[in-house]
């Protein structure tokens, strides 16, 4: 397949995922907003378990990531942000035994992975870039902070008479 045809598919994938997540987030925040996919009642349902704030967080993040996907300049960062979110969305229909929804979500995962694969050189350059060389004092500060944080966390967990 020529690169021009593939770039058309990638643009369609990007816009589709952007609209789906943008509308999913907004429809949770404003139930009268047109909804393409996803439960608009999520915040109300989570509120029953004192998790309403978490529901708002999900809605805001879906709106943010979907909006970023609609801007070509932010496609890579939005795709990276969307991957763990979509994996969580993907597992829900499997866990609850919903019929059909998991197939749509698997297709969305294919679309998302296609976007990430197309940007693999950028991702590789982020991962493989030469680390900033730190001075000896910076290394000591980093190691000291790392060790002290773990000791503090362990003390908080086990130090109060557990």
How do residues 60-93 score in pLDDT, each as one tens digit? 999 999 999 999 999 999 999 999 999 998 898 8
E-strand ranges in the chain read: none
In this predicted model, which residue has the larger pLDDT, 99 or 107? 107
- Residues 91 and 95: their CA atoms lie apart, in Å, by 6
- Residues 85 and 89: their CA atoms lie apart, in Å, by 6
- Residues 9 and 115: their CA atoms lie apart, in Å, by 9
Provide the 3-class DSSP secondary structure of residue 81: helix
- Residues 52 and 46: their CA atoms lie apart, in Å, by 5
- Residues 158 and 155: their CA atoms lie apart, in Å, by 5
Cβ atoms of 37 and 20 closer than 8 Å: yes
- Within 8 A by CB and 6+ apart from 92, the residues are 98
The band of 148, judged by pLDDT with boundaries at 50, 70 and 90, is very high
Provide the 3-class DSSP secondary structure of residue 33: coil
From 19-23, 41-45, 73-77, 106-110, the region with the lowest mean pLDDT: 41-45
- Residues 123 and 162: their CA atoms lie apart, in Å, by 44
């Amino acid at each position: 397949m020529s690169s021009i045809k593939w770039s058309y598919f990638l643009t369609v994938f990007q816009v589709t995922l952007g609209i789906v997540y943008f509308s999913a987030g907004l429809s949770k925040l404003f139930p009268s907003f047109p909804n393409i996919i996803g439960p608009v009642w999520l915040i109300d349902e989570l509120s029953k378990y004192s998790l309403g704030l978490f529901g708002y967080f999900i809605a805001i993040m879906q709106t943010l990531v979907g909006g970023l996907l609609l801007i070509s300049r932010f496609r890579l960062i939005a795709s990276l942000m969307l991957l763990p979110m979509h994996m969580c969305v993907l597992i829900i229909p499997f866990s609850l035994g919903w019929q059909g929804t998991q197939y749509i979500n698997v297709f969305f995962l294919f679309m998302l992975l296609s976007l990430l694969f197309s940007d693999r050189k950028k991702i590789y350059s982020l991962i493989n870039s030469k680390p900033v060389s730190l001075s000896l004092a910076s290394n000591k500060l980093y190691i000291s902070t790392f060790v002290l944080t773990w000791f503090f966390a362990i003390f908080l967990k086990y130090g109060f008479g557990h």
